[in-house]
Amino acid sequence: MRDLARLPKAHLHLHFTGSMRVATLAELAERHGIRLPRVLLEADPLVVPADERGWFRFQRLYDAARACVRGEEDMRRVVAEAVADDAAEGSGRLEIQVDPTSYAPFVGGLTPALEIVLDEARRASLATGVEVGVVVAASRTRHPLDARALARLAVRHAGDGPGEVIGFGLSNDERRGETAEFAPAFAIARRAGLASVPHGGELLGPAHVEDVLDHLRPERLGHGVRSGEDPRVLARVVEEGVALELCPASNVSLGVYATASEVPLRPLVEAGATVALGADDPLLFRSRLVDQYRIARDVHGFGDAELADLARASIRACRASAATRARLLAGVDAWLADDPADADAGQSVSTSGTVGSGGVAGRGATSGTAGPVANERAASPAGSGNGWSSPAHQVPGAGSSPATR
Ligand SMILES: [Zn+2]
């Protein structure tokens, strides 16, 4: 069986705060004298009975975690570790999403808040070989004029190189705000060539997807997983070439579906939709990028050729340069061409610190230290069976260890 951590892929749906390691969150909370809800540091904070899951529990925990990131050093660390963790999972391209608003008060404004993220994204790209682009995301809970200000800020840093802004998003509770009121912000971003990548069709159904399609003209939809509830809307998604950033573990943790088997991954793919798997908020869902591919394999019966197609879809839907996409796609071909027996051998190698094929994740100087991750795993129960204890998780880049930040 081929090692999914060695499959080159692009990671298109990951939030800045939600990417944090549990051990890092614990450390930051202690440093800043913040008392966190205990459940945040324990295993699987959202693994609760189906009727207790849902957005509000998630939002409360997310806000608590966000409050622990105070200042430049913390922000740089979050980015560096997110990229190192992506590198260990075969991601060759990460498009991380951030709303700089919450961090602005600690660093002197929105512009420095974004520039810190961009600068660290560039450094982490060089250190790990994962090319990192940034999505600036506005929040549905704030005034649409705030979204316009963020769009203008995003435009000033637009580009397809490492540490540049590639897209503009809209996040937070889909039931809040009027989608149409955010259209001017998205128009500003689109005119400058940024990808329109709002959330939609997660908590709400196909009518919301259509609302987003009409007003925000997305190139990709954050989730969009419920598009298929109306075949006409799904047909429109396919016809307009809108990629769906599907996050199966997130959907289950937030109670959108009771189990991973109910996430309509296969029907969406079979309908012709471009599906790019993402982790969304591994801090809260305790499920990282490779875990999403594992769900596709173990729960939905995707074979290696189909998994390679998912990876290709993620790469084609990303905003990296054509050269980067071509390099990553060649890596996918190489992964699939590898004899599975060799790949099995490679899997045992990956536990000792070598990850990546096709010249993707292993490039750059990431000799590997198990320090922070060992702490992190200690914070999770042994044998929890989720991504925190997977072999792929043992090789973050040494260049990004907290001691150097
Ligand atoms: Zn999201």
The pLDDT tens digits for 313-361 are 999 999 999 999 999 999 999 999 987 765 455 444 443 333 333 333 3
Cβ(313)–Cβ(243) below 8 Å: yes
196: left (phi over 0), alpha (psi -120 to 50) or beta: beta
Is the pLDDT confidence value at 255 over 90? no
Distances (CA, A) of 399 to 125, 132, 404: 11, 16, 7
Q: What is the pLDDT of residue 133?
A: 98
Task: Name every residue whose Cβ is closer than 8 Å to that of residue 31 and which is 6 or more positions away in sequence.
Answer: none
Per-residue confidence band for 41, with pLDDT thresholds at 50, 70 and 90 = confident
Length of the chain: 405
Beta bridge partners of 96: 14, 134
Distance 51 CA to ligand 1 centre (A): 21
Is the pLDDT confidence value at 81 over 50? yes
Q: What is the pTM of this model?
A: 0.83
Q: What is the pLDDT of residue 44?
A: 61
Which pair of structure tokens corresponds to residue 124? 């982490």
Q: What is the pLDDT of residue 374?
A: 33
* Catalytic residue annotation: 202
Distance 171 CA to ligand 1 centre (A): 7
What mean pLDDT do residues 194-223 have?
Answer: 95
Query: Could you give the CA distance from residue 291 to residue 96 in angstroms, rounded to a whole number?
Result: 18
Query: Could you give the CA distance from residue 240 to residue 47 in angstroms, rounded to a whole number?
Result: 36
Distance 317 CA to ligand 1 centre (A): 16
Q: Which residues of 12-48 are buried (b: 16+ CB within 10 A; e: fewer)?
A: bbbbbbbbbbbbbbbbbbeeeeeebeebbeeebbbee
Q: What is the pLDDT of residue 103?
A: 95
Distance 340 CA to ligand 1 centre (A): 33
Find the radius of gyration of the CA atoms of the chain: 19
The continuous run of DSSP H or E covering 83 comes out as helix 72-87
Q: What is the pLDDT of residue 375?
A: 33
Which pair of structure tokens corresponds to residue 273? 């939709």
Distance 11 CA to ligand 1 centre (A): 12
3-state secondary structure of 218: coil
Q: Which region among 46-60, 229-243, 258-272 has the lowest average model confidence (pLDDT)?
A: 46-60
Query: Could you give the CA distance from residue 196 to residue 130 in angstroms, rounded to a whole number?
Result: 22
Q: Which strands, in side-by-side order, build the sheet including 220-223?
A: 199-200, 220-223, 243-246, 275-277
Which pair of structure tokens corresponds to residue 329? 């796609």
Q: Is the dihedral of CA 231, 253, 20, 352 positive or negative?
A: negative
Per-residue confidence band for 372, with pLDDT thresholds at 50, 70 and 90 = very low
Per-residue confidence band for 188, with pLDDT thresholds at 50, 70 and 90 = very high
Domain encompassing residue 380: 4-404
Distances (CA, A) of 61 to 29, 76, 364: 13, 21, 35
Q: What is the CATH number of the domain that holds 340?
A: 3.20.20.140
Q: What is the pLDDT of residue 49?
A: 55
Distance 279 CA to ligand 1 centre (A): 8
If one counts the domains in the chain, the total is 1
Distance 97 CA to ligand 1 centre (A): 8
Angle between helices 72-87 and 110-128 (to 10 degrees): 30
